[in-house]
């Protein structure tokens, strides 16, 4: 099969490309490198079945050509990370909504299957965990810019499902829960890589808020496996599906676990939300997925233990910090 991955040089996109190439598919990547990186796909560039385009989704002519040549479009391009969302709400909304609209509109002309990535953020302040796909979405007020990301991704979902119901465009919507692993950057506030990097550098591990907010972390290999299986399952079309691990941990406990796994002496410090992000910042206290639907559709559920995930992220950062073979000879 021939896949087009928007945001293909990003963290998840690069891992998905790797998996698809391994099974013999042809992969085309589209990325403007706003949050992605060529380093993520450098090891894939030698494959004859991979091509990439460094451009924006807004390039309608290029997008139309790439969609026309593809069998499946995996739409991962988005503004990501709490830090980026708080600092650039206009960019967040425009990137997410406009990008998804263009992909759906272009794919609809040729009835190409689109898998679009949403987020667990859409559940907002809902306190009924685990979150089921048919649960109410409870967002905060529009005066809190933090909720702009959740609102834009919810609109993405409405768009995708409307294209399916009204225009019969085959779509699959996945709600991702804290996907983590090698090649993820902490630049935009991703908690696990930031914790691991700080621990390895001997710097304070910064926990925002009181640390009692909890999350479930899903290994990127499990996320990719879920995406591939959903794409290969016709019954997934027209559905919204949670993709995540169900092992829940508080952020404070995560900091201690990282410190333990890395054998770090780093202190753990607590930083108020107002100082970390913006005055009046609101957070989701728990974020736990129900994955029964995913398992029923694909016979798969993510189960990589958190300790193994931390070890993989640690090994990645350690490999990045090793000197190049000839570095000592450089003067």
Q: Both tokens of residue 65?
A: 């050509």
Judge whether 13 and 29 are in contact, CB under 8 Å: yes
Task: Count CB-CB contacts under 10 A for residue 117.
Answer: 26
Judge whether 14 and 44 are in contact, CB under 8 Å: yes
- Strand (E) or helix (H) holding 207: strand 205-208
Q: Both tokens of residue 70?
A: 């593809």
Judge whether 247 and 192 are in contact, CB under 8 Å: no
Q: Is residue 149 annotated as a catalytic residue, yes or no?
A: yes
Q: Both tokens of residue 71?
A: 């069998």
**Which member of 149, 163, 208, 277 is catalytic?**
149
d(CA 54, CA 56): 7
Q: Both tokens of residue 113?
A: 């299957």
d(CA 21, CA 23): 5
Q: Which backbone phi and psi does 266 adopt, to 5 degrees? A: -60, 135
Judge whether 232 and 25 are in contact, CB under 8 Å: no
The residues that are catalytic are 149
């Amino acid at each position: 099969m021939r896949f087009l991955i928007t945001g293909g040089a990003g963290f998840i996109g690069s891992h998905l490309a790797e998996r698809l190439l391994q099974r013999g598919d042809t992969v085309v990547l589209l990325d403007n490198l706003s949050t992605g990186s060529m380093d993520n796909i450098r090891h894939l560039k030698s494959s004859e079945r991979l091509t990439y385009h460094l451009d924006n989704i807004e390039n309608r002519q290029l997008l139309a050509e790439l969609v026309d040549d593809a069998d499946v479009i995996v739409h991962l391009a988005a503004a990501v990370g709490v830090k980026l969302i708080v600092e650039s709400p206009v960019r967040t909304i425009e990137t997410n909504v406009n990008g998804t609209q263009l992909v759906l509109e272009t794919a609809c002309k040729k009835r190409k299957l689109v898998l679009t990535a949403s987020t667990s953020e859409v559940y907002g302040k809902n306190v009924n965990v685990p979150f089921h796909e048919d649960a109410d979405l409870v967002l905060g007020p529009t005066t809190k810019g933090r909720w702009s990301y959740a609102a834009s991704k919810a609109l993405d979902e409405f768009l995708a499902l409307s294209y399916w119901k009204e225009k019969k465009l085959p779509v699959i919507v996945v709600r991702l829960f804290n996907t983590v692993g090698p090649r993820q950057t902490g630049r935009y506030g991703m908690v696990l890589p930031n914790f691991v990097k700080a621990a390895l550098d001997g710097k304070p591990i910064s926990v925002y808020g009181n640390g009692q907010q909890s999350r479930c972390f899903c290994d990127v290999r499990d996320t990719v496996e879920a995406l591939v299986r959903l794409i290969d399952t016709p019954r997934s079309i027209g559905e919204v599906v949670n993709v995540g691990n169900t092992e829940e941990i508080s952020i404070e406990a995560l900091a201690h676990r990282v410190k333990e796994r890395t054998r770090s002496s780093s202190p753990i410090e607590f930083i108020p939300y107002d100082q970390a992000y913006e005055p009046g910042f609101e957070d989701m206290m728990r974020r736990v997925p129900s994955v029964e639907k995913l398992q029923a559709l694909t016979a798969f559920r993510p189960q990589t233990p958190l300790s193994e995930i931390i070890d993989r992220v640690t090994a990645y950062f350690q490999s990045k910090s090793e000197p190049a073979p000839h570095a000592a000879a450089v003067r």
